Chain A
Amino acid sequence: MSTHILKRLLDRLRDGGSPVRTDGGTAAAGSETAGGDSDLGSALSSLRESDAVRSAPFWLPPFLLMGFFVYGAISWNIVISLTDFGGLTLPTYDPSTFDLEMYRRAFSDGQFWIATRNTFVLLISFTGLSLAGGLGLAILVDRGIRFENWFRTVYLLPFSLSFVVTAVFWRWMYNFDSGLINAFLRGIGLDFVASKWLTGSIDTGALGAIPLVPDTFYFKLFAVIFALLWQFSGYAMVVYLAGLRAIPNDQYEAARVDGASILRMYRRVILPQLRASTVSAAVVLMVFALKAFDFLYVLFGSNPGPTADILSTMMYRQAFSANEWAYGSAIAVVLFVVALTVVAPYLYGEYRRGEL
């Protein structure tokens, strides 16, 4: 039977007569493909009606598995956040006792607001800096250089490493006595800048290290962001590079004929067209920022302290160190809502543009 199919297939390809059906194709367009044979056409349309049924064996099992773990677990988490599940006892799910106590507790918890603030500082500065860095890299790499592949491979390399490995490397980089950052600063005569980066304290020489409290400059958090920038700017570069390559050559040509300077060309012609790349890279980077837990956990354990605590570390600490399960669930729901406010508009936009 299969050889028969292939033969028909080849015939069809040789004909080249059948119109290409687009995504928005309807049953009418489909019956054209069928070659106008009315019997076939009606058979086809009835088949088409059962497409939902015929496709189900393929998408339904993965959907159930994924749906159970993603949406089932999120719903379960929301239910737990309404209980007062804590300690070593088992949770009881009695709807009559459900309340919003854990959310009230979160909103009146100073630690929660500090973690929320840090989460947004991390989210916005990490995403912004990675996009800027990635765009810079992409423009440099796109300038028709030699060994382009080689450069690109090196810049993307840190992205293939795990947060754990990155954290181990950067703990060493930031080491006060023998880390590379301070060695570099001392090497160029900037001894006074050398700091205990990961404790958020600055070395004053004679007086020793003084901790920066209050940490108005997010010293510790920016040490983390800088390391994450090292890991993720290559990712933004790859996305921007794809965007740059999609811009037709004649636009570069036109800008050059107009005598536009390189800077002006990028600002006026190229950047406006990278909007889609920016949006998709930003969404993914924000999601990574929300997942930066692994990195902070390796560097600081489950309590990074008030200057680097984010919602995901706080959630883990409350749930898995303090056994405050319901409270941890409530914080997780807040985190989920933050992620949703980033992702929902993006997905809706994709849907509107028909790219879903």
Chain B
Amino acid sequence: MSVRDDLAERVGVDLEAVDPLRVALYATLVGLVAFYLSPLESGLMTALKTEAEFATSPPFVPPTVEGFTLEPFGVAIDTLSSAILNSIMLAVPATVLSALFGSFAAYGLTNFEWRGQLGVVALFIAGIFIPYQAVLIPLSRLWAIVDTQSLLAPVLDITVFSAQVPVLGTVELATHPHYASIINLIITHTAYGIPITTLLFRGYYKKLSTEMLEAARLDGAGAFTVYRRIVLPLSMPMFAVTLIYQFTQVWNDLLFALIIIPSGSGPAAVATIALNELTGGIIQTFNTQMAGAFVAALPTLLVYVLFGDKFAKGVAGGT
């Protein structure tokens, strides 16, 4: 029996019968689709119009042949590309690190039994819900005191990211002292991501077969071996969910970037900051603003379109 038949039976509707109620239902659903997509649709149409065109035509109407232009996207990509690169440099390590830490913590707090465990779990989970305003001033103080660049100087010169290219010799990929603040941002996002990733993994590890872990332990496998040989391989689906969810969270953040990246802009700006600056101008070039919004949102939109079901799972599990 297919899922659909099952559902149909359960709500008592014959899917094949044409019935005014069903028609109304589908009309409502389609109307809602229009509501949810209209900002995106009219935004996209506007981004493809010249200034003269979008000032005179309704926002949702596609551009005419004369009014069509790709220039707004050109401007947006030019303005945002370095910020998008920064966001990738930020979001990828921060996401991977907080997922790993979350997995460790969840294993240590789920598949062992000891007194006081629930108290620690409560502290982890409460961390999900704190309003970030309550930590902003200490964060700005902390990263004013900690000089990441000098701390890392003995091992890594982060002012110069360079690569050896056979013909050209050493090529500097990026040079700017502000890259230290991206590392600060990675550490910050990793730390604040741990509560939610721990919660997601814990929900999953609770369902793991206790017998299986017990058996391995009886055979003398240490906690690390059990994690590496059994728990980690079994966690791969949950890693997918967590990585996808956390990636969008880090990518979409504005507040921490505002606080931690000095002067809020410059070469270390991330996508959200750069978009805010692109669109915050007094001159209202709405076509460029809309193009900018699409360019800055593209990675999360792609992740959502490709892995929508996993994203939804992360969302539902994050409650």
Whether A164 contacts B118 in the complex (CB less than 8 A), given A62-B198, A252-B10, A293-B133, comes out as no
Among A51-59, A204-212, A214-222, the one that faces the other chain is A51-59
Contact partner of A164 (CB less than 8 A), chosen from B29, B248, B276, is B276
Task: Determine whether A18 belongs to the interface, using a CB cutoff of 8 Å to chain B.
Answer: yes
Please provide the 9 A-B residue pairs with the shortest distance between their CB atoms, ordered closest to farther.
A58-B108, A162-B252, A59-B108, A52-B114, A69-B191, A55-B112, A73-B135, A144-B7, A280-B319
Contact partner of B25 (CB less than 8 A), chosen from A52, A143, A291, A311, is A143
- A356–B10 touching, CB < 8 Å: no
- B122–A351 touching, CB < 8 Å: yes
- A179–B33 touching, CB < 8 Å: no
Contacts of A8 in B (CB 8 A): 215-216, 218-219
**Which residues in window 29-56 of B have CB below 8 A to A?**
29, 32-33, 35-40, 42-43, 46, 54-55
How far is A313 from B189 in the complex, measured between Cα atoms in Å?
A: 21
Mark interface residues in A28-67 (1 if CB within 8 Å of B CB, else 0).
Answer: 0010011000001000100110011011111111110111
A-B contact pairs, 23 of them (CB 8 A): A12-B212, A20-B211, A21-B211, A48-B113, A54-B112, A62-B102, A65-B194, A70-B192, A73-B138, A73-B139, A74-B138, A144-B15, A151-B33, A157-B40, A161-B252, A164-B296, A168-B290, A170-B39, A249-B10, A293-B255, A312-B131, A339-B134, A347-B125
Contacts of A239 in B (CB 8 A): 315-316, 319
Known: A62-B101, A65-B101. 20 other contacts (CB 8 A): A20-B211, A33-B214, A47-B217, A55-B108, A55-B111, A55-B114, A59-B104, A59-B120, A63-B120, A149-B309, A156-B312, A172-B59, A178-B54, A187-B58, A253-B10, A320-B259, A336-B133, A339-B130, A339-B131, A356-B121
Contacts of B92 in A (CB 8 A): none
Contact partner of A20 (CB less than 8 A), chosen from B6, B140, B210, B292, is B210
Among A103-111, A124-132, A193-201, A327-335, the one that faces the other chain is A327-335
Contacts of A18 in B (CB 8 A): 211
- A172–B289 touching, CB < 8 Å: yes
Contacts of B60 in A (CB 8 A): 180, 183
How far is A91 from B118 in the complex, measured between Cα atoms in Å?
A: 37
How far is A44 from B219 in the complex, measured between Cα atoms in Å?
A: 11
Contacts of B206 in A (CB 8 A): 23
Contacts of A155 in B (CB 8 A): 32-33, 36
Task: Determine whether B311 belongs to the interface, using a CB cutoff of 8 Å to chain A.
Answer: yes
How far is A66 from B130 in the complex, measured between Cα atoms in Å?
A: 12
Question: By DSSP majority rule, is chain A's interface helix, strand, loop, or mixed?
Answer: helix
Whether A57 contacts B223 in the complex (CB less than 8 A), given A144-B7, A180-B38, comes out as yes
CB distance from B194 to the nearest CB of A (A): 4
How far is A33 from B212 in the complex, measured between Cα atoms in Å?
A: 11
Mark interface residues in A67-109 (1 if CB within 8 Å of B CB, else 0).
Answer: 1111111101100100000000001000000000000000000
- Residue numbers of A with Cβ under 8 A of B are 1-2, 4-5, 8-9, 12-13, 18, 20-21, 23, 25, 30, 33-34, 40, 44, 47-48, 51-52, 54-63, 65-74, 76-77, 80, 91, 137, 140-146, 149, 151-165, 168-173, 175, 177-180, 183, 187, 230, 234-235, 238-239, 242, 249, 252-253, 256, 280-281, 283-284, 287, 290-291, 293-294, 297-298, 301, 311-312, 315-316, 319-320, 325, 328-329, 331-333, 335-336, 338-339, 342-343, 347, 351, 356
Contacts of B9 in A (CB 8 A): 249
How far is A59 from B10 in the complex, measured between Cα atoms in Å?
A: 44
CB distance from B116 to the nearest CB of A (A): 8
* Max chain B Cβ within 10 angstroms of own Cβ: one of A47, A70, A175: A70
Contacts of B255 in A (CB 8 A): 291, 293-294
Whether A77 contacts B112 in the complex (CB less than 8 A), given A67-B123, A172-B43, comes out as no
How far is A177 from B301 in the complex, measured between Cα atoms in Å?
A: 29
Q: Which residue of A lies closest to B127 (CB)?
A: A70
How far is A244 from B286 in the complex, measured between Cα atoms in Å?
A: 41
Task: Determine whether B124 belongs to the interface, using a CB cutoff of 8 Å to chain A.
Answer: yes
- B223–A54 touching, CB < 8 Å: yes
Q: Which residue of B lies closest to A175 (CB)?
A: B286
Task: Determine whether B251 belongs to the interface, using a CB cutoff of 8 Å to chain A.
Answer: yes
Q: Which residue of B lies closest to A150 (CB)?
A: B33
- B139–A70 touching, CB < 8 Å: no
Question: By DSSP majority rule, is chain B's interface helix, strand, loop, or mixed?
Answer: helix
- B301–A74 touching, CB < 8 Å: no
Contacts of B176 in A (CB 8 A): none
Contacts of B39 in A (CB 8 A): 158, 169-170, 172-173, 180, 230
- A66–B195 touching, CB < 8 Å: yes
How far is A40 from B136 in the complex, measured between Cα atoms in Å?
A: 52
Q: Which residue of A lies closest to B111 (CB)?
A: A55
Mark interface residues in B272-305 (1 if CB within 8 Å of A CB, else 0).
Answer: 1001100110001010011011001100110111
Contact partner of A62 (CB less than 8 A), chosen from B26, B29, B105, B211, is B105
Contacts of B142 in A (CB 8 A): 73
CB distance from B268 to the nearest CB of A (A): 17
Contacts of B55 in A (CB 8 A): 177-178
How far is A47 from B12 in the complex, measured between Cα atoms in Å?
A: 55
- A34–B42 touching, CB < 8 Å: no
CB distance from A231 to the nearest CB of B (A): 10
Contacts of A5 in B (CB 8 A): 215-216, 219, 221, 225, 229
How far is A196 from B81 in the complex, measured between Cα atoms in Å?
A: 33
Contacts of A287 in B (CB 8 A): 128-129, 131
How far is A281 from B318 in the complex, measured between Cα atoms in Å?
A: 10
Task: Determine whether B308 belongs to the interface, using a CB cutoff of 8 Å to chain A.
Answer: yes
How far is A13 from B127 in the complex, measured between Cα atoms in Å?
A: 38
- B135–A160 touching, CB < 8 Å: no
Task: Determine whether B242 belongs to the interface, using a CB cutoff of 8 Å to chain A.
Answer: no
- B297–A162 touching, CB < 8 Å: yes
Contacts of B293 in A (CB 8 A): 165, 168-169
Contacts of A70 in B (CB 8 A): 127, 130, 135, 191-192, 195
Q: Which residue of A lies closest to B244 (CB)?
A: A160
Contact partner of A9 (CB less than 8 A), chosen from B113, B215, B312, B318, is B215
Q: Which residue of B lies closest to A48 (CB)?
A: B113
